[in-house]
Amino acid sequence: MITAILLGAGDRGKGVFGEWVLRNKDKLKFVAVAEPNDNRREMFAYEHNISPEKKFKTWEEVLGQEKMADLCVVATQDQLHTKPVLKALQKDYHVLVEKPMATTIDECYQMIEKAEKSGKQLWIAHVLRYTPFFTNIKRAIDNGMLGKIINIKHSENISYWHFAHSYVRGKWRRSEDSSPVVLAKTSHDLDILYWLTESPAAKISSFGNINYYKPEKAPKGAGYRCMDDCKITETCQWYAPRLYMEAEPILQVGMRSKLFHKRLIAWTALNYPKVLKGFSYFIPALRVLNNWNRWPVSVITDEYSEESKLKQLKEGPYGRCVFFCDNNVCDNQVVNIEFKNGITATLTLHGFASFEGRWIRIEGTEGTLFGKFSTEHQEIVVYDHYNTQKKVLMDVDLELKGHLGGDDGIMHSLVTSLESGKLTDSAVLTSGKASLESHLMAFAAEKSRLEEQIVYLDEIRKREQKRNDDLEAI
């Protein structure tokens, strides 16, 4: 049995890693938790049967104790990763840390160096590599179905309500408090591009801005808070109760299912919630649709009563109008990449999609691959140039698993690795060293965007190597 401590019992710590452990009690057990929020700490400790002496408010407290587990899971906010990761490695823990691994280049290198010196595994939660979708794409490339890869077009389509929740109203709205959106969100996508091309990036250019989520774009009648002075609540797609009270945008996802019974359930929940509530007495799985208590509602409150939700929307940041927030991260950005092996790629991100998802098109010398990766539908199709044949590699309807299987995938891989005894960092698919390239690309993209110049990645690598050599000399 692998044992672990958790630093940060928020949405990822409790809601993803914690939930996985509850479903896989024979694989991994949390034996300690550090969380400053009293309610979340107590809830997590209760669910995982953690003894009172192993409940802590801060990561400093738990890592100040003698080592008490095999693994340390770091699920704190972006800018609070580095110190606990370094301390955990020093204390001889293996480490799983949420992406991005750090918010500066220097801190990324510090983590990698510490992991190498400690001989412990450092996992970065770049979970897309562990999804069936991207695993199938990688296999198609490796099997030569496309010939030599020439170009990749990749798009991160963030739904309008998700972007508003996380990057306008939420914790990632300001780069100085978290990280730029190209790092906070699309480090996933940059990691996938690096993994698929199997080549470091040579040079990058990027453009982006806040095009829409700003005061001058506010429609007539919009107020500073949804629940106070807004005159357009009936027509505004960002009206906060629409998401956090009624879960309407989430239920609409089910309306796009190919399967009639799933569309019927979603339609009933949207139009006749009392009927659905009646059915839920006999079908417990339907109860969550009556009072949505998962992400993103789980971010704004730990109590899911109507009163608690209303209180948060009236007083907290998630009830603000999306046009009158203090956000400063881009709501649209493009990244142009040339890899060292000659492959070119473009990454587009934006926060205005009707539904959440990623799209990818890969052009090879012998074939073209189209991929759609979304909650509503996952599909991979390959067209062979010579025979003009169409081959469907994947066709999956509505899927609600975290990151479409990626969250489960990384946890299964991590536990399997630790159980096997192959504990070197090189055995990890998304180790610190493997994930470093996506971070370098993100830092380069933001530098290019801000300074309006092409950024050559080797210049960054050489500067960092010189810095490390100078530190070694000291």
Q: In whole angstroms, give the CA distance from residue 75 to residue 201.
A: 28
Q: In whole angstroms, give the CA distance from residue 257 to residue 469.
A: 55
pLDDT (tens place) for every residue of the chain, 474 residues total: 899 999 999 989 998 999 999 999 999 999 999 999 999 999 999 999 999 999 999 999 999 999 999 999 999 999 999 999 999 999 999 999 999 999 999 999 999 999 999 999 999 999 999 999 999 999 999 999 999 999 999 999 999 999 999 999 999 999 998 999 999 999 999 999 999 999 999 999 999 999 999 999 999 999 999 999 899 999 999 999 999 998 899 888 888 888 888 888 888 888 888 887 787 777 777 777 777 788 898 889 888 788 899 999 999 999 999 999 999 999 999 999 999 999 999 999 999 999 889 999 999 999 999 999 998 889 999 999 998 789 999 999 877 676 788 999 999 999 999 988 766 666 688 999 999 999 999 999 999 999 999 999 999 888 776 666 665 655
Other Cβ atoms less than 10 A from the Cβ of 148: the count is 12
Q: In whole angstroms, give the CA distance from residue 47 to residue 45.
A: 6
Among 241, 224, 228, CA closest to 321 = 224
| Strands of 455-456's sheet in order across | 390-396, 378-384, 367-374, 357-364, 149-159, 344-353, 332-339, 201-209, 455-456
In what helix (H) or strand (E) does residue 357 lie, and over which residues does it extend? strand 357-364
Identify the pLDDT of residue 302.
Answer: 83
Q: In whole angstroms, give the CA distance from residue 155 to residue 128.
A: 14
Q: How far is residue 74 CA from its own chain's centroid? A: 14
Among 355, 362, 360, CA closest to 371 = 360
Q: CB–CB of 438/187 below 8 Å?
A: yes
Q: In whole angstroms, give the CA distance from residue 201 to residue 134.
A: 20
Q: In whole angstroms, give the CA distance from residue 370 to residue 136.
A: 12
Residue linked to tokens 């380069």: 444
Residue 352 phi/psi, 5-degree rounding, is -135, 15
Superfamily of domain 2-128+406-436: NAD(P)-binding Rossmann-like Domain (3.40.50.720)
Tell me, yes or no, if the pTM score tops 0.85. yes
Q: In whole angstroms, give the CA distance from residue 177 to residue 452.
A: 23
Q: CB–CB of 447/203 below 8 Å?
A: no
Identify the pLDDT of residue 284.
Answer: 78
Q: Given the DSSP bridges, would you call strands 71-74 and 201-209 parallel, antiparallel or unpaired? A: unpaired
Among 106, 108, 184, 209, CA closest to 450 = 209
User: For residue 262, with 0-12 CB atoms within 10 Å meaning exposed, 13-18 middle and 19 or more buried, which class applies?
Assistant: middle
User: For residue 210, with 0-12 CB atoms within 10 Å meaning exposed, 13-18 middle and 19 or more buried, which class applies?
Assistant: middle
Other Cβ atoms less than 10 A from the Cβ of 17: the count is 25
Q: In whole angstroms, give the CA distance from residue 345 to residue 337.
A: 5
Q: CB–CB of 17/84 below 8 Å?
A: no
Rg of the chain, C-alpha, whole Å: 23
Identify the pLDDT of residue 320.
Answer: 97
Counted residue by residue, the chain has a size of: 474
What end-to-end distance do the CA atoms of the chain give, in Å? 42
User: For residue 411, with 0-12 CB atoms within 10 Å meaning exposed, 13-18 middle and 19 or more buried, which class applies?
Assistant: buried
Tell me which DSSP letter residue 116 carries. H
Q: In whole angstroms, give the CA distance from residue 35 to residue 16.
A: 15
Q: Given the DSSP bridges, would you call strands 55-56 and 122-124 parallel, antiparallel or unpaired? A: unpaired
Q: CB–CB of 74/97 below 8 Å?
A: yes
Q: In whole angstroms, give the CA distance from residue 198 to residue 43.
A: 42
Q: In whole angstroms, give the CA distance from residue 93 to residue 8.
A: 16
